[in-house]
C-alpha cells in the first residue's frame, strides 16, 4: 500500500474512532459547541492588542465571574512579549491595560472584546503603543476646546490562500479597472459576503461603522469608521480591523492592508482621514480649513513618515501621482480633487465650512499616529 493510501485509510479509521463524519465535520461540530450554554455567572473576555509590528493584532481569552460594565471592571493581564516582538526572552512579561470595550459578535451574550494598551515590565508604554502618545496630544486644553473629530475610510484587499486577489483568474488578470467601483454583479464584485458579514459584526459590537463599498480594484473593499471624536476613533478602527481578520478566518481568505498589493495599473489601498474642528464647522470655517491646509503643507514629509507602518517607505509605492493619489514628494490640495494630498469636499467649499480629507494615510497606518499628527500640526503648532 502506498503512503498516500495508508494515510487515507488511517484517516478513515480515525474519523470512525472519534465518531465524526468524513466531511464538513469541523464546522458542524464547532457550530454545535458554540450553542452550548455557559454558566450564567461566567463570561469570556477577548483581550486584543497591537503587536511589535505596529500593524498586526494579537488576542487571547480569559474567563470572568462577572460581566464587566465599565473599563474599571477589567483587570490588567500579562503576555509573553518575546513572542510578539515586544520584549526580550530574559524579561518577557508585558502588561495589557484595558482601554476600550465592545460586545463580542462571535460569542454574543455577555461576552466582550477588550482593546488594550501594551506596557513593559517597568510600566512604560511599549514602542507599539501609539495610543498613549495620541492621548497625551488630545489632553491639551486647546485640543479639547476644538473637539477634533475623525472619520477613516479603511480600504483593504481580499486575497485567497495563495495570496492572490480573490476572484482573479490564476493565470492572468481581470478586466481593466472601471466597472468594479461600487459595482454590482457576479463578474464585477468579489467578496461581498465577507464585507457584509464584517459590516454586521461591527454594528453588533457597537463599532461606529458608517458604511461600506466595493473599491476601484476588483477584490478591494472599503469600510468607513466615524465620525468619532478624539482618540476613541483609533479604538473603533483597530477593533474593526480585528473583526475583519476574524471574519476573514471564517471565509478562508486574507484581508490585506498592503498599501500597494499589486504592481501595475491597479489602485493601491489607503485610509483617507476626514478631519474637522469646531472652528471648521462654524460659519466662515473654510478659513480655518485653509489655515490647516497650509500647516499640513509645511509638515508634509513628517506626515508621510507617520502614515504607514514602515516610516513612509511602503506608502511611497502607493503615492505615485497616479491611481487617485498625489505624489509623496509634493504636497497639493484642491476642491473635489482626488488626485491631491488634501481634498476639500465640494459641498464644504460651497457652504464655506465643514471638513478636509487627508488622502495620504496608507491602509496599514496606525490611526492613533494619524490623529496625533493632525492635532499637533493643525491645533498645537
- Res 115 pLDDT > 90: yes
What is d(CA 268, CA 156) in angstroms, rounded to the nearest whole number?
Answer: 9
> Residue holding cell 515590565?
121
- What the block records as the C-alpha cell of 124 is 512604560
Say what the pLDDT of residue 307 is.
Answer: 98
Q: Within a 10 A sphere around the Cβ of 330, how many other Cβ atoms?
A: 11
How many residues would you count in the chain?
Answer: 381
What is d(CA 368, CA 76) in angstroms, rounded to the nearest whole number?
Answer: 21
Per-residue pLDDT, averaged over 162-190, amounts to 93
Mean pLDDT of the chain: 92
Say what the pLDDT of residue 297 is.
Answer: 98
For residue 6, what pLDDT band results from cuts at 50, 70 and 90?
very low
Collapse the DSSP code of 273 into the 3-class scheme (helix H, G, I; strand E, B; otherwise coil) and give the result.
strand
The strand pairing partners of 159, in sequence order, are 165, 254
Say what the pLDDT of residue 12 is.
Answer: 37
For residue 146, what pLDDT band results from cuts at 50, 70 and 90?
very high
Lowest mean pLDDT among 19-23, 158-162, 178-182: 19-23
Per-residue pLDDT, averaged over 181-203, amounts to 96
What is d(CA 41, CA 65) in angstroms, rounded to the nearest whole number?
Answer: 6
Say what the pLDDT of residue 40 is.
Answer: 87
- Res 19 pLDDT > 50: no
Per-residue pLDDT, averaged over 51-57, amounts to 95
- Res 7 pLDDT > 70: no
Handedness of CA 33, 36, 39, 43 (dihedral sign): positive
H/E stretch holding 192 reads: helix 192-205
The strand pairing partners of 118, in sequence order, are 96
Max Cα–Cα distance, the chain, nearest Å: 83
Going by C-alpha positions, the residue among 329, 295, 360 that lies closest to residue 152 is 360
DSSP state of 37: P
For residue 97, what pLDDT band results from cuts at 50, 70 and 90?
very high
- C-alpha dist (Å) from residue 115 to 149, 238, 280: 20, 8, 31
DSSP state of 198: H
In tens, the pLDDT along 307-336 reads 999 999 999 999 999 999 999 999 999 999
Q: Dihedral through CA 203, CA 207, CA 213, CA 216, nearest 10?
A: -150
- Res 5 pLDDT > 90: no
Per-residue pLDDT, averaged over 366-372, amounts to 98
For residue 26, what pLDDT band results from cuts at 50, 70 and 90?
low
For residue 22, what pLDDT band results from cuts at 50, 70 and 90?
very low
For residue 13, what pLDDT band results from cuts at 50, 70 and 90?
very low
- The H-assigned helical ranges of 126-191 are 130-138, 141-146
pTM: 0.91
78-98 as b/e: b if 16+ CB within 10 A: ebebbebebbeeeebebbbbb
CB 224 within 8 A of CB 154: yes
In tens, the pLDDT along 240-298 reads 999 999 999 999 999 999 999 999 999 999 999 999 999 999 999 999 999 999 999 99
Amino acid at each position: 500500500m502506498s503512503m498516500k493510501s495508508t494515510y487515507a485509510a488511517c484517516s478513515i479509521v480515525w474519523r470512525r474512532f472519534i465518531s465524526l463524519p468524513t466531511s464538513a465535520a469541523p464546522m458542524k461540530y464547532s457550530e454545535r459547541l458554540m450553542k452550548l450554554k455557559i454558566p450564567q455567572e461566567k463570561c469570556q473576555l477577548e483581550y486584543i492588542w497591537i503587536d511589535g509590528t505596529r500593524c498586526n493584532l494579537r488576542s487571547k481569552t480569559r474567563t470572568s465571574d462577572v460581566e464587566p460594565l465599565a473599563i474599571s471592571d477589567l483587570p490588567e493581564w500579562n503576555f509573553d512579549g518575546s513572542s510578539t516582538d515586544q520584549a526580550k526572552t530574559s524579561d518577557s512579561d508585558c502588561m495589557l491595560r484595558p482601554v476600550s470595550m465592545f460586545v463580542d459578535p462571535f460569542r454574543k451574550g455577555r461576552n466582550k472584546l477588550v482593546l488594550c494598551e501594551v506596557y513593559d515590565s517597568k510600566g512604560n508604554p511599549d514602542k507599539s503603543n501609539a495610543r498613549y502618545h495620541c492621548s497625551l496630544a488630545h489632553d491639551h486644553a486647546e485640543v479639547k476646546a476644538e473637539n477634533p473629530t475623525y472619520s477613516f475610510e479603511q480600504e483593504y484587499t481580499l486575497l485567497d490562500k495563495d495570496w492572490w486577489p480573490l476572484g482573479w483568474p490564476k493565470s492572468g488578470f481581470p478586466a481593466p479597472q472601471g466597472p468594479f467601483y461600487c459595482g454590482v454583479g457576479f463578474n464585477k464584485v468579489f467578496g461581498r459576503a465577507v464585507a457584509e458579514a464584517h459590516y454586521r459584526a461591527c454594528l453588533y459590537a457597537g463599532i461606529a461603522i458608517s458604511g461600506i463599498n466595493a473599491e476601484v480594484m476588483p477584490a478591494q473593499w472599503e469600510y468607513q469608521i466615524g465620525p468619532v471624536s478624539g482618540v476613541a476613533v483609533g479604538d473603533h478602527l483597530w477593533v474593526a480591523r480585528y473583526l475583519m481578520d476574524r471574519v476573514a478566518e471564517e471565509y478562508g481568505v486574507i484581508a490585506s492592508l498592503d498599501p500597494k498589493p499589486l504592481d501595475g495599473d491597479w489602485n493601491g489601498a489607503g485610509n483617507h482621514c476626514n478631519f474637522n474642528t469646531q472652528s471648521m464647522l462654524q460659519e466662515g470655517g473654510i478659513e480655518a480649513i485653509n489655515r490647516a491646509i497650509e500647516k499640513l503643507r509645511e509638515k508634509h514629509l513628517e506626515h508621510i513618515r507617520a502614515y504607514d507602518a514602515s516610516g513612509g517607505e511602503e506608502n511611497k509605492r502607493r503615492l505615485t501621482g497616479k491611481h487617485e493619489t498625489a505624489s509623496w514628494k509634493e504636497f497639493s490640495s484642491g476642491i473635489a480633487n482626488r488626485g491631491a494630498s488634501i481634498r476639500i469636499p465640494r459641498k464644504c467649499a460651497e457652504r464655506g465650512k465643514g471638513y478636509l480629507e487627508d488622502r495620504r494615510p496608507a491602509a496599514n497606518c496606525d490611526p492613533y499616529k494619524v490623529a496625533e499628527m493632525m492635532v499637533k500640526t493643525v491645533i498645537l503648532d
